Structure 1
Amino acid sequence: MNRIFLVIVLAAVLFAGWKQFSFQPAADLTSPMEALSTAMVESAAGAVDLAIGLVGVMTLFLGLMKVAEAGGMLVILARLIRPLMVRLFPEVPAEHPAMGAMILNLSANALGLGNAATPFGIRAMQELERLNTQPGTATNAMALFLAVNTSSVTLLPTGVIALRAAAGSADPAIILPTTLLATIGSTAVAIVAAKLYQRLVPMERSRATDSVKTSTVTDSGEASTLAAAEGAYPLWVSIVALVALASLIPGAILFGKALSPWILPGLMAGFLVFGAVRRVKVYEVFVDGAKEGFQVALRIIPYLVAILVAVGMLRASGAMDLLVGALSPVTGRFGLPAEALPMALMRPLSGSGAYGILASIINDPAIGPDSYTGVLVSTLQGSTETTFYVMAVYFGAVQVRRIRHAMAAALTADAAGVIFAVLACWLFLN
């Protein structure tokens, strides 16, 4: 991200400087360098205004998610997908801690609980490394787990919905069906790609014995959650749930516009009723979660300032217009406007960078959050993941240096996410 930020700023300064030399002063014209200076100040102020506007909405959603988490929704989802996971990862014993950690990681990602997903993901990698007969080399299970993570199995992209609401969207939750289709498609491709690529890069045979090692989870919170998720529902229950989830896609395409105004009120009422039925003190837990939302909204201010200033400079310099004009005739034919290209390229590299570009696009009066481009970039943010960050954190936690086919599978999932996001937005908005 350091290099990307530097390149964007230098490109803007150099391009504006080149235009400055040929600029002819006039009473009603602003020089390129003056426009660049103005864009820097206005973008920085706009980033802070955006973050402050985001505080309330982020607080609301994280409060609701805290109620769902306290009510055991994470454990319920984990038990639903467990029968499918044991078939996807046949080399991981069903009762090994690695399986439980992977299930909870994917369940947390599905609910948009990124803060909970990362610790479980690291725990899963550590447990998978204990099963590894070749320490330092990614196993098939590690590569598949990482590919599925980068495909971003997301059912509730709460952060993106909050940002869209702060940007003045008339229907912030319109991205739920498009995100669902995109994430199902990219996850399916991630699984197929990982299974195919592992045949091209087989692991070397090891003389080490394939003994199954277990470990003790030291964190009491993780231990209790892992223990609660140990059981599994019957396979037919998982299949029914998966079919029901997939059936939401055609239903959303046919009736989504009529139902979308009901989504946010329904989510709030549904989560609170769920918590109350599970005997959660919904008000107190909501307030606790809301406190986290306030802190999250404040923490992103420096990232938003950096990215929005860089993007604002690139636009003010004219370099962005040049790039859009060159690429739009090609990408536009495939449903990917050139304005959305920076988002598609940034997403695998930097989560904060992509978040800043998303904010810049949907807050642009010429685009807006409810246009095709606004919905597309929102879907991209909600249905793809920061591939290189995930890979660095998860593999770095267990010091894996030989990643084999993990990168190829993850990038294939990213590309699939873009394609399915375009397809979903085209189906839903046309």
Structure 2
Amino acid sequence: MVLSRFWLSIFISSIVFVVVSLFTGNSYTIDFILNGKKDDPILIAEKYINQVPVFVKDSIEKAPNQTMVVNKIATNPDTTYIYKNKTVKIFSGVQKSDGLLPTCKSTLIDLILPLIAYLAFFCGLMELLIISGATEKLAKVLSPVFVKVFPSIPKNHPSISYMTLNFAANFLGLDSAATPFGLKAMESLQEINPEKDKASDAQIMFMCLHASGLTLIATSIIGYRAAANAANPADVMLPCIITSFIGTIAAFLIVGVKQKINFKSASLVIGLMVLIAAIIGLLMYVNHLDLIGKNYFTSNLSALILVGIIVATLILSFVKEKKFGEAKTTVYETFVAGANNGVKTGVTIFPYVLGMLVAISLFRNSGLFEIISNWIAFAFSNMGVSKEITNALPVALLRPFSSAGSRGFLIDSMNTFGADSLTGRLSSIFQCSAESTFYVIAVYFGSVNIKNTRYALGTMLLVDVVCVITAILVATWFF
């Protein structure tokens, strides 16, 4: 219900704002909101050639392509005059994101189709792990800890192994594998959910822990910083880990208090200590490497682990081939059956993702997001927060809505202020410290047709706030 109302409020407020802007003269056209593409110039006026300033008219008539650009800067395009069909079209600024119709197209082609391919492959592997008995053994090993965190899940339930693989994939930056494992976990948890259209306690806990985004190897962030000529692209690794870890702990505590979980459980404390020890151990190892060593390690660890998972799954399936025979199938047929389920899951979640991304597109292109962002930045600046921090806030504000959108702000902030500035580094930490909340909710709850997300959205947004505050504190401490 909360998500539905939030979605409606974004949609309606954006449309009202656009219409009011058009009729009050603040916008010349709203076509770009429907048909425009990201980074396209925005049409702000159209005049006859004798209505433009004389120096502009002369420049246009002398220009070979009858185009004049005023104060053109590669990183910040300004006003462009184009003479065509007896009128001069005036463009200024660029579009923040794709319009409504291009968003519909790109959601299918650039997001859903690749996602379906990932789902098909990894769901095929998951089916092999299920038939071979690997998921059952993993669940038995981890049950002592998971039954404390998820008391409503029966001991040795298959969802435990799926959630473990999801957390591990997120931890190591394996985004392509994390989503299929996570969707399989939600599907498994839905089987024991007594109210099928309402999120269970276990599903909410899983979603909040997943969305907190605990990541050890922020490969993509390091890549963006390297492309922006950062002196040490990996210098934000430790702040990213600390921020995402605190976000994960906050998510666990908030949901745990709500669900009355026993935090004094010995197995729970031991599991947490093992996780902390693993993080510290890996950090100590990475910290002693030089710059080239860090880049080599971070770029290869995730890939090697992913290849290792694939190889181990195939070898185990070969060794346990008798189990496939007992199930009256073969290893290859099992993989195909799992892949087919992955395709069906991708088709199921498409409408949920489409609805959310279209609303976000309208919200950004309407200019409403930018106004709200400026208000928040203004409020922070009046509270004494430095301009370097407020310049990075657009990344934090857009991150819950759109990973691609916040990534655009991240790259822009590094290009504008420098990759090694506090703004550039803080933007990097914002980008890797949490998931895209609304996208995650649309995908995961949509995959099992849950309509009532209960307190999941509120908790995840609260965790986003915790991550933002932590990121600011950690960034100012480190840099």
TM-score by length of 1: 0.62
Partner of 1:34: 80
- Gap change, CA 1:122 and 1:43, over 3 Å in 2: closer
Aligned-partner Cα distance in 1 for 2:420–2:139: 33
Does residue 359 of the first structure (1) align with residue 411 of the second (2)? yes
Deviations 1:68-96 (A, max 9, x none): x9xx9xx9x99997654332112112321
Q: 1:392 aligns with which of 433, 437, 442?
A: 442
Paired letter, 1:395:
F
Partner of 2:295: 264
Contact 2:70 2:80 in 1 (8 A): no
Aligned-partner Cα distance in 1 for 2:204–2:377: 38
How many Å apart are 1:383 and its aligned residue?
A: 1.1
Aligned-partner Cα distance in 1 for 2:468–2:96: 31
Contact 1:190 1:409 in 2 (8 A): yes
Aligned-partner Cα distance in 2 for 1:136–1:313: 33
- Gap change, CA 1:80 and 1:424, over 3 Å in 2: farther
Deviations 1:39-94 (A, max 9, x none): 439999xxxxxxxxxxxxxxxxxxxxx9xx9xx9xx9x999976543321121123
Aligned-partner Cα distance in 1 for 2:140–2:232: 32
Contact 1:197 1:405 in 2 (8 A): no
Superposition map of 1:66-81 within 5 A: none
How many Å apart are 1:247 and its aligned residue?
A: 3.8
Corresponding residue SS for 1:37: strand
How many Å apart are 1:268 and its aligned residue?
A: 5.3
For these two proteins, the number of residue pairs brought into alignment is 333
Partner of 1:296: none
Aligned-partner Cα distance in 1 for 2:447–2:96: 40
- Taking only the aligned residue pairs, the percentage that are identical comes to 28
Does residue 242 of the first structure (1) align with residue 285 of the second (2)? no
Paired letter, 2:91:
S
Does residue 132 of the first structure (1) align with residue 193 of the second (2)? yes
Aligned-partner Cα distance in 2 for 1:170–1:98: 43
Aligned-partner Cα distance in 1 for 2:456–2:469: 20
Aligned-partner Cα distance in 2 for 1:349–1:408: 14
- Gap change, CA 1:83 and 1:355, over 3 Å in 2: farther
Partner of 1:374: 424
Paired letter, 1:405:
Y
- Gap change, CA 1:275 and 1:160, over 3 Å in 2: closer
Please tell me whether Structure 1 or Structure 2 has the larger radius of gyration of its CA atoms.
2
Partner of 1:423: 473
How many Å apart are 1:333 and its aligned residue?
A: 2.1
Contact 2:44 2:92 in 1 (8 A): no
Deviations 1:114-168 (A, max 9, x none): 1111111111111111111122111111111111111111111111211221222
Deviation larger for 402-411 or 190-199: 190-199
Paired letter, 2:468:
V
Does residue 107 of the first structure (1) align with residue 161 of the second (2)? no
Superposition map of 1:316-331 within 5 A: 326-327=378-379, 329-330=381-382
TM-score by length of 2: 0.56
Partner of 1:173: 234
Structure with more strand by fraction: 2
Q: 1:345 aligns with which of 371, 390, 397?
A: 397
- Gap change, CA 1:267 and 1:351, over 3 Å in 2: closer
Contact 1:177 1:249 in 2 (8 A): no
Superposition map of 1:218-297 within 5 A: 238=271, 241-245=274-278, 247=280, 262-267=293-298
Structure with more helix by fraction: 1
Paired letter, 1:241:
V
Aligned-partner Cα distance in 2 for 1:118–1:276: 17
Corresponding residue SS for 1:105: helix
Q: 1:193 aligns with which of 234, 254, 268?
A: 254
Aligned-partner Cα distance in 2 for 1:144–1:169: 37
Partner of 1:121: 182
Contact 2:388 2:422 in 1 (8 A): no
How many Å apart are 1:26 and its aligned residue?
A: 7.8
Corresponding residue SS for 1:94: coil
How many Å apart are 1:332 and its aligned residue?
A: 5.4
Where do 5+ consecutive residues of structure 2 fail to align?
1-6, 29-41, 57-68, 73-77, 82-89, 99-121, 130-134, 261-266, 313-359
Paired letter, 1:423:
L
Aligned-partner Cα distance in 2 for 1:80–1:397: 28
Paired letter, 1:382:
C
Contact 1:174 1:260 in 2 (8 A): no
Aligned-partner Cα distance in 2 for 1:97–1:370: 45
Paired letter, 1:170:
A
Paired letter, 1:183:
S
Deviations 1:262-294 (A, max 9, x none): 42134457679989999979xxxxxxxxxxxxx
Aligned-partner Cα distance in 1 for 2:464–2:94: 31
- Gap change, CA 1:93 and 1:378, over 3 Å in 2: same
How many Å apart are 1:363 and its aligned residue?
A: 2.1
Aligned-partner Cα distance in 1 for 2:372–2:70: 20
- Gap change, CA 1:117 and 1:82, over 3 Å in 2: farther
Aligned-partner Cα distance in 2 for 1:403–1:43: 28
Aligned-partner Cα distance in 1 for 2:383–2:389: 6
How many Å apart are 1:179 and its aligned residue?
A: 0.7
- Gap change, CA 1:198 and 1:161, over 3 Å in 2: same
